[in-house]
């Protein structure tokens, strides 16, 4: 009887804990508080990132509509929404898992993307 009560209480506790999880919050889309960390390096969406993303991200996955990847990276506005710490972990770090099913991008490309991200992801 005591085991049954313990099991029931344990299950109720787990169910209650699962319903009180923190809601997912969209990352902020404006970066008005961002201070460029590499102001002397001019890596922008228009002069660099757009071509890298077109070559490695939007051909098969992140092109919007019914594509395989989340998000539409074919425009600055579409990519900017994802230019967060998650972009760093998924694309830039040494253990990056994007592009999916392929090796991480070359280190020189990831370094340049990191400069873009750390400089507040400028468009121009």
Give the model's pLDDT for residue 76. 94
For 10, the 3-state DSSP assignment is helix
* Full-model pTM: 0.70
pLDDT the model gives residue 11: 58
Residue 124 counted as domain residue? no
Based on the structure, what is the number of domains in the chain?
A: 1
Tokens encoding 25: 């919050």
Predicted pLDDT of residue 119: 96
Rg (CA), the chain: 20
- Give the residue numbers spanning the domain of 51: 2-118
- Determine, yes or no, domain membership for 104: yes
pLDDT for 12: 53
Q: What is the pLDDT of residue 19?
A: 38
pLDDT, one tens digit per residue, over 50-81 is 999 999 988 888 877 666 767 888 899 999 98
Asked if residue 61 lies in contact with residue 100, where contact means CB atoms within 8 angstroms, the answer is: yes
Taking 50 as the pLDDT cut, the residues of the chain under it are 13-29
Tokens of 95: 């253990």
């Amino acid at each position: 009887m005591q085991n049954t009560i313990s099991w029931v209480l344990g299950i109720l506790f787990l169910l209650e804990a699962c319903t009180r999880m923190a809601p997912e919050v969209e990352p902020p889309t404006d970066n008005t508080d961002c201070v460029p960390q590499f102001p002397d390096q001019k890596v922008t969406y228009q002069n660099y990132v757009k071509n890298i993303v077109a070559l490695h991200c939007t051909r098969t996955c992140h092109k919007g509509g019914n594509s395989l990847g989340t998000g539409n990276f074919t425009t600055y506005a579409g990519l900017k929404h994802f230019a967060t710490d998650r972009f760093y972990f998924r694309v830039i770090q040494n253990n990056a898992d994007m592009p999916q099913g392929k090796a991480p991008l070359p280190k020189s490309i990831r370094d340049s993307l990191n400069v873009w991200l750390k400089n507040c992801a400028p468009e121009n």
